[in-house]
Amino acid sequence: MISAAAVALLRLTIVSACAAVACPLAAGAQASIPTPAPSASAAPTDPCSGDTHLLAVLNRPTIGFSACAEPRGRVLAEVGYQNQLQGGPLPTVATQYAQPFIRFGAGDRIELDLIPPNYNLTHPSGMPRTVGFSDSGIGAKFEMPPSARSIFAIDTLLTFPSGSGGFSNGAAALTVNLDAAYSLSPVFGFATTAGFSSTAGSLPSGSNARYFTFLPSAVVTAQFPGAVQLYTEVAHTSHVAPGAGSRTILNGGVQKLLGRGVEVDVELGQTLNNAGAPRYHYFGFGFGLER
């Protein structure tokens, strides 16, 4: 017979692992939840389930995507704000909001996504501001049957050239992500996304051209009592435009559950290289709301 202490330890391990494998936004990001009484029959077998499952399901605020699909019958809205400052001879401030991403649990480990347009404002020092909307689109995710410590998923995103002049790709873009997450311990988790994208952008001549880019990312998370999660992530884009170079970003932040279905987050990020252009750093915050 399993002792009450062993059952309690087993439950704590599984619940912590669920939150520790979070990766979504992104875009995407992850609050004080009372711990239920120990019960072997109530312990979650799915790393994406449990009272703190929102920490694992959210894409926000990381660049990679979570391997957890939104549970059946649930709706998750991820929104945020980002302010970016690029240095160099012409310092430029770029602001983005509300970074919307809406996820619908359509079936058992099946999710459908809606990607509304994002509003952008760019202000080079001493020059007029440029404003407009980015492209909108749809998406879907299929989560593989999970094990006790690992999760795998595939998701697709399709955007359409519906945005404003300087903020639209100018053509449809398709991205396919392979997502994985693994619980290293009751506290620490690791997750990665390997993204492959066929998109479009402007050439120096002003014409539009299609190009392909590889979008890998990796994140390490640490969850602490009180449903607080810290993370650090590195993400790479093999090409930022047709014929252009690569960009690597290092970011980190904190996520906090304010209830079973409400999460807030704060993030700081810095480019390590920026396709030959001056580096930039950014500050962002946002939240996830699940119903």
Question: What is the C-alpha to C-alpha distance for residues 163 and 135, in angstroms, rounded to an integer?
Answer: 4
Percentage of residues in the chain having pLDDT higher than 70 = 85
Angle at 185 between CA 225 and CA 228, to 5 degrees: 25
How far is Cα 173 from Cα 161, in angstroms, rounded to an integer?
Answer: 8
What tens digit of pLDDT does each residue of 119-145 get? 999 999 999 999 999 999 999 999 999
Q: Ramachandran region of residue 243, left (φ > 0), alpha (ψ -120 to 50) or beta?
A: left
Structural domains of the chain in order of their starting residue, each with its CATH number: 4-290 (2.40.160.40)
Mean pLDDT of 28-46: 39
Which pLDDT score, from 0 to 100, does residue 46 have? 74
**Positive or negative: CA dihedral 11, 16, 21, 25:** positive
Does residue 14 have a pLDDT over 60? Answer: no
Q: Is 137 exposed, middle or buried (0-12, 13-18, 19+ CB in 10 A)?
A: buried
pLDDT of residue 229 exceeding 70: yes
| In contact, 179 and 157? CB cutoff 8 Å | no
pLDDT of amino acid 4: 44
| pLDDT confidence of residue 45 | 59
pLDDT in the model for residue 68 = 96
pLDDT at res. 98: 95
> Given pLDDT bands bounded at 50, 70 and 90, which one contains residue 260?
confident
CA-angle at 140, arms to 18 and 46, nearest 5°? 20
Which ranges in the chain belong to alpha helices (H)?
4-20, 53-57
pLDDT at 252 over 90: yes
Judged by phi (left if over 0) then psi (alpha if -120 to 50, else beta), residue 23 lies in alpha
The whole-number pLDDT of residue 116 equals 97
Mean pLDDT (the chain, rounded): 86
Lowest mean pLDDT among 3-17, 22-36, 250-264, 273-287: 22-36
pTM to 2 decimal places: 0.81
Amino acid residing at 64: G
User: Among 186, 130, 141, 160, which Cα is nearest to 16's?
Assistant: 186
SS (H, E, C) 75-86: EEEEEEEEEEEE
**Closest to 146 in 3D by CA, of 69, 74, 51, 55:** 69
- Name the residue with tokens 């980002």: 82
Task: Read off φ and ψ for residue 225, nearest 5 degrees.
Answer: -55, 145
Please state, in angstroms and rounded to a whole number, the distance separating the CA atoms of residues 254 and 125. Answer: 31
- Predicted confidence band of residue 9 (pLDDT cuts 50, 70, 90): very low
166: left (phi over 0), alpha (psi -120 to 50) or beta: alpha
pLDDT at 271: 97
147-162 tens-digit pLDDT:
989 999 999 999 999 9
User: Two tokens at 196?
Assistant: 């492959």
The pLDDT assigned to 41 comes to 37
Question: pLDDT tens, 67-121?
Answer: 999 999 999 999 999 999 999 889 999 999 999 999 999 999 999 999 999 999 9
Q: What is the mean pLDDT of residues 257-275?
A: 95
Which residue shows structure tokens 């987050």? Answer: 265
Residue 21 has pLDDT above 70, yes or no: no
Higher pLDDT, 89 or 270: 270
* 8 A C-beta contact, residue 123 and residue 92: yes
For 40, the 3-state DSSP assignment is: helix
pLDDT at 267 (0 to 100):
98
What digits encode the pLDDT tens for the residues 170-227? 999 999 999 999 999 989 999 999 999 999 998 877 788 999 999 999 999 999 999 9
